[in-house]
Structure 1
Amino acid sequence: MQDVLLDYGDTKMRVELPDSANVLRLAEVDTDPPAVDPAAATRRALANPLGTPPLRELAKPGQKVVIGFPDRVKGGAGPQCHRRVAIPIIVEELLAAGVRLEDITLLCAPGLHRHNTLEEWYWYLGKEIVDMFWPGRLLNHDAESPDIVDLGQDEMGNIVQVSRLLAEADLPIVVGHCSGNPYGGYSGGYKMLVTGHTTWRCISSHHCPKTMHRDDWLGATPHSHQRHQFRSIGEAIEKGIGKMIFGVDAVIGKKAQVLDVQAGLLGEIEKATWPLADKRTNYALDAAEPADVLIMGLPRNFHYGPGMGSNPILMSLAIGGQLSRCWGAFREGGVIIAAAVCDGWFNPKWFPSYAETYEALQKYCTPAEFLTSKDADALSANPEYCYSYSNYNTYHPYHAMSMISGGSVPAQRTSAVYIAGAKAPGYARGMGFTPTATFKEAMAMAQRHVGKTPRILCTPDCFTGGMGVHLHLKK
């Protein structure tokens, strides 16, 4: 037997697995190509952009320039991380072209995440660049701003809305990270624009059941319907504002180290960064057949913030995201066992709408029925929650709806999802999962679906071991 420590709330859960179980510790996986010097790579990319003249030629004296950048959720915070290195170099290029410093604005792109604080900007951007722009020209995009630019619908029928500040800039620039996402393929490219600088109505076009419950949502592919929506909305934004958006994206590794930097048109950047991201993100599991049981551990605090492993809605999305990453090595109809405290702590300071959203969900037979209801629409536009999002650094109320869309996928694609160690079991049941007091009990119940000797895949540190990987079987 193997002793395995699963992430579990604020501690670990020790479990025993048979020797035949495939235990993939993310901390031990090394799929990263060699890192590059991020400053040199950024300068090289800016000097040789894809599909457009260099930034120094595009920029002109008197222009208003907006530089969009990702929020705290992704990208790392060390001194060599992409945002922290790239933004000062971009500013340097603009100044050299004659743009005045006072005509440059930095625009954080939280989308529906909580607005980032000054303290957080110091943490991941560094003091020098923050002090250069704070307070008047270092801002959060506000998805509830009354002057959002409404561009109607794209050719796919998606709602197209975007930040006015970005839309009216003479030279709009976005800095992004190309990293393996559990859905949508990769961050960066058009995804950075259409999820970070838009509105809940726009995001509801692609973070919804009709997109996230499709077969092609699973497997974390960049060729899914959702990724096509990202591109379609992004191209519609560029057409609607009458200008192309200049991107500066880095492919990043497990610890957010920079593996490559590409600059230029967003569509061209995607073509240039995805092949390297494929090598970094896709992992061939040493197994001949897909697993019958997927085991994972959930800490309390990760990705979206404190409470993700205890808030039942966020917990369900974490399970759905990891299922998507593992879809190439797991069979449909298998069983998931997730070690999670599931104690009902919603973290109302960050996620004030989530408790009410959870209670509203319980009145409906299926998550999809709820998400298309008037109740869900009213909650998504609730003035109190939207005001809190804009003014008090909380998550937007539609964020909970998008999490339910992805979090309801595991119950549709498996025979059962067991939450081992649930402290408030009713919350697990409310998300369509089965709570168990112990991991051993969950394994015994799983065997009713998959037999006494199932093929087991365990990812014990999938949320704490570094940037995730997308699993496939060795051919």
Structure 2
Amino acid sequence: MCVEVDKLIRHVEDESERYYFHYGEGFLWEKLPVGTRVIYPPPTLPPIKDVDEAIEHALEHPYGSEPLSALLRRGMKVTIAFDDISLSLPPMQPPDVRQLVLEKVLNKLYEKGVEDIHIIGAIGLHRRMTPSEIKHIVGKRVFEAFYPERLYNHDAEDKENIVWLGKTEMGEDVEVNRRAVECDLLIYVNLNLTPMDGGHKSIPTGLGTYRSIRHHHNPDVLLKTSLMDTRQSEMHRSLERIDKLIHEHVRVFHIETTINNATFPWYLLYLQKAEHEHTVWDRLNFHISRNALKVMPISLRRAIFHATRAPYKMTSIQAGDVEEVHKHTIENLRKQQVVPVDGQCDILLAGMPYLGPYNVNSILNPILVNALGPGYIFHLFLNKPLVREGGVLIFTYPLHEDFHPVHQVPHKDFYELVLKRTRDMKEIVAHEEEFATNPKYIELYRHSYSFHGAHAPFDWYWGYRAQCYLSKIIVVKPKVKHVAHVLGYETADSLSEAIEMAKDVVGSNPSITYFHMPPIFLCEVK
């Protein structure tokens, strides 16, 4: 799709103009300085018209592989792995694209007489998905036929069902799910929301263990990583080495899908539009919602937002060899997500929504705020960051000091016992193995619904490059200011105050950019 860039990049011309900012489970309505550059996401791509035919074509006309039907034979052992609830954001309205792919794949397996089939949720070190969350992804028919004996979450701490395959040429340990290694064919069903996902990342993270994942989820690697521009990502080089060793032991048929950016259901469609495109109804709806949310208790606001289901639709599907497949996946992602941008800014503004990949049906705790803001939002660029080195990131978020009591036990302990004492990265890294091997966290990861202990420090690492690159990070209107100080942020009671604070380090006449998301998109910065 060819997009006129001047429709996506505007400049504030009048000081009376107002723009909405996401503010957790709510919204702000703000003025911006004249001259501020506002960058909007591209318009929504039309979906594939005949999804069933598209899936069939991808499976039988793959890239760099025989057709799926030609790989199957009676009596073989097949494992299917699928991406977990960290994708999509928000969760899709049913049917999820993974359900559609799984049903087609299973029909082909049945036609060839394949009966030994296991389906594994590739959670890596994420929390286990609940039965209802699995059912939402795979659909009722697949769930009832396979759960729980042959449809289950990967368990990175089940020692009997983990296989060590050796080390890469760089000394990286390679451990992976035993069922995935010992089957005759592993089929991976992916949902690609951003360029950092899919490809060589799928199996090593989704079906790997702490012993393996620690090699690419660490500060030294992430400091040399552009999460979305994999050409500049040391993390993805590590994943590539690990995945290539896995492929020496496992026959893999990769299936990758992309979706459009139809993020919001009908009652939130004003959030899919730029302010100047709002109708009278859009403006009325927005302000009623904004003001109603202000007076609701946080528990009700969270329940409302986490019940949101996005009307995403499939825009592409490709299957076969991992590298050939992922090349086409990235091409299709670019069509939906990339906005060409001239030059960096001194001050980057962003509104932080309620949701990131690690708090679906949960809470965006302080550590996950750091992972989402200085981590993911900062990294939504290609070539170079949207904000210059030494610049300032300002984001709006009602920072709280709360943690989900089931999902985020290690996060709370990491915050209380480590971050409240130090932000020195060497000292923090020294605590990593303690969290990764703590028997309490392992038990909760395996038999409850808590993240693995290692994920707490890992989530903190995501923001490390931005923390080193920027002069300041300022959060606007936090509810609990001392949380910001624990995280190393400064605080402001208004957006205008934050901009004045930023001028102390970037100068009195700064270039300012408002990165107007979600929907998710990428700025290709020249």
TM over 0.5: yes
Say whether the 8 Å CA contact 2:59–2:319 is kept in structure 1: yes
Runs of 4+, deviation exceeding 4 Å: 306-310, 363-367
- Secondary structure at the residue paired with 2:416? helix
Q: Does 1:19 align with 2:26?
A: no
In the other structure, the counterpart of 2:151 is 138
The DSSP-based 3-state class of the residue aligned with 1:174 is strand
Match for residue 238 of structure 2 among 216, 222, 229:
229
Q: Say which of 28, 49, 72 aligns to 2:85.
A: 72
- 1:315 corresponds in structure 2 to 369
Which amino acid is the alignment partner of residue 30 of structure 2? Answer: V
Q: Structure 2 CA distance, aligned partners of 1:296 and 1:419?
A: 10
Q: 2:290 aligns to what?
A: none
Q: 1:341 — aligned with what?
A: 398
After TM superposition, the structure 1 = structure 2 runs for residues 113-128 of structure 1, keeping only pairs within 5 Å, are 113-128=126-141
CA-to-partner distance for each residue in 1:133-168, whole Å, 9 max, x for gaps? Answer: 122111100111122111232122222110011111
| Aligned residue in 2 for 1:291 | 345
**Cα separation, 2, equivalents of 1:372 and 1:130:** 40
Q: 1:399 to 1:272 in 2, by over 3 A?
A: same
The 3-state SS of whatever aligns with 2:132 is helix
CA distance in 2, matches of 1:440, 1:306: 32
Do the aligned partners of residues 451 and 223 (structure 1) sit closer, same or farther apart at CA in structure 2, a change above 3 Å counting?
A: closer
What is the match of residue 259 of structure 1? Answer: 315
- TM-score normalised per structure 1: 0.90
User: In 2, Cα distance between the equivalents of 1:385 and 1:165?
Assistant: 24
Q: How does 1:5-84 map to 2 (within 5 A)?
A: 5-26=20-41, 29-30=42-43, 32=45, 35-75=48-88, 76-84=91-99
Residue type at the aligned position of 1:123: H
CA contact (8 A) 2:398 2:478 kept: yes
**1:345 and 1:21, CA in 2 relative to 1: closer, same or farther beyond 3 A?**
same
Q: In 2, Cα distance between the equivalents of 1:457 and 1:69?
A: 37
The one-letter amino acid of 2:59's match is L
The equivalent of 2:294 in structure 1 is none
AA paired with 1:188? G
> Structure 2 matches for 1:195-234, cutoff 5 A?
195-214=205-224, 216-217=225-226, 220-234=229-243
- Give the Cα separation in 1 of the matches to 2:166 and 2:334: 34
Q: Which amino acid aligns with 2:108?
A: E
1:160-179 aligned within 5 A: 160-179=174-193
SS at match of 1:321: helix
Match of 1:458 in 2: 514
The answer on whether the counterparts of 1:370 and 1:376 sit within 8 Å (CA) in structure 2 is no
Letter in 2 for 1:125: V
| Cα offset, 1:308, TM superposition | 7.7
Matches within 5 A, 1:344-355: 344-355=401-412
C-alpha displacement of 1:318: 0.7
2:38–2:513 contact (8 Å) kept in structure 1: yes
Checking the alignment, whether the CA contact within 8 Å between 1:9 and 1:300 is kept in structure 2 is: yes
Aligned residues: 456
> Measured at CA, do residues 472 and 265 of structure 1 come closer, stay the same or move farther in structure 2, by a change above 3 Å?
closer
Question: 1:429 deviation in Å?
Answer: 1.5
Alignment partners' CA distance in 2, 1:336 and 1:381: 35
Give the distance between the partners of 1:54 and 1:83, measured in 2 at CA. 19
> For 2:191 and 2:354, how far apart are their aligned partners in 1?
25
Deviations 1:41-95 (A, max 9, x none): 1100111122222222211111121100011110343345320110010001111
Query: How far apart, CA to CA, are the structure 1 residues paired with 2:25 and 2:166?
Result: 45
Deviation (angstroms), 1:99 = 0.8
Question: Match of 1:429?
Answer: 485
Structure 2: how far apart are the matches of 1:208 and 1:267? Answer: 25
Within-5 A mapping of 1:93-132: 93-100=108-115, 103-132=116-145
1:470 match = 522
Q: Displacement of 1:223 after TM fit?
A: 4.8
2:196 and 2:227 in contact (8 A); partners too: no
Paired residues for 1:379-394 under 5 Å? 379-394=435-450
Partner Cα distance (2:191, 2:97) in 1: 8
Equivalent position amino acid for 2:524 in 1: H
Q: Give 1:31 deviation, angstroms.
A: 6.4
Gaps of 5+ in 1: none
The structure-2 alpha-carbon separation of the partners of 1:335 and 1:248, relative to structure 1 and needing over 3 Å to count, comes to same
Provide the C-alpha distance between the structure 1 equivalents of 2:363 and 2:98, rounded to a whole number of angstroms: 28
Per-residue CA distance 1:324-367 (angstroms, 9 max, x = gap): 11444321111111111111112232111112112333376544
Aligned alpha-carbon RMSD (Å): 2.1
Aligned equivalent of 1:440, options 470, 474, 496: 496
Q: In 2, are the aligned partners of 1:173 and 1:245 still within 8 Å (CA)?
A: yes
State the SS of the aligned residue for 2:371: helix
Deviation at 1:268, TM superposition (A): 2.2
Q: Secondary structure at the match of 2:246?
A: helix
Question: Quick one: which amino acid aligns to residue 176 of structure 2?
Answer: V
| More off after superposition, 74-83 vs 5-14 | 74-83
Q: Specify whether residues 396 and 36 from structure 1 end up closer, same or farther in structure 2 by C-alpha distance, changes over 3 A only.
A: farther
Corresponding residue of 2:387: 330
State whether residues 49 and 263 of structure 1, in contact with CA within 8 Å, keep that contact through their aligned partners in structure 2: yes
Q: Which amino acid aligns with 1:243?
A: V
Aligned to 1:159: 173
2:254 paired residue number: 247
Q: Work out whether 1:419 is the aligned partner of 2:475.
A: yes
Q: Is the 8 A contact 2:397 2:476 kept in 1?
A: yes
Gaps of 5+ in 2: 1-14, 263-311
Superposed CA deviations along residues 94-129 of structure 1, whole A, max 9, x for unmatched, are: 1111212xx111111111111111111222222111
The answer as to whether partners of 1:341 and 1:423 remain within 8 angstroms in 2 is yes
Instruction: Flag the 1:45–1:367 CA change in 2: closer, same or farther, 3 A.
Output: farther
**TM-score (structure 2 length as normaliser):** 0.82
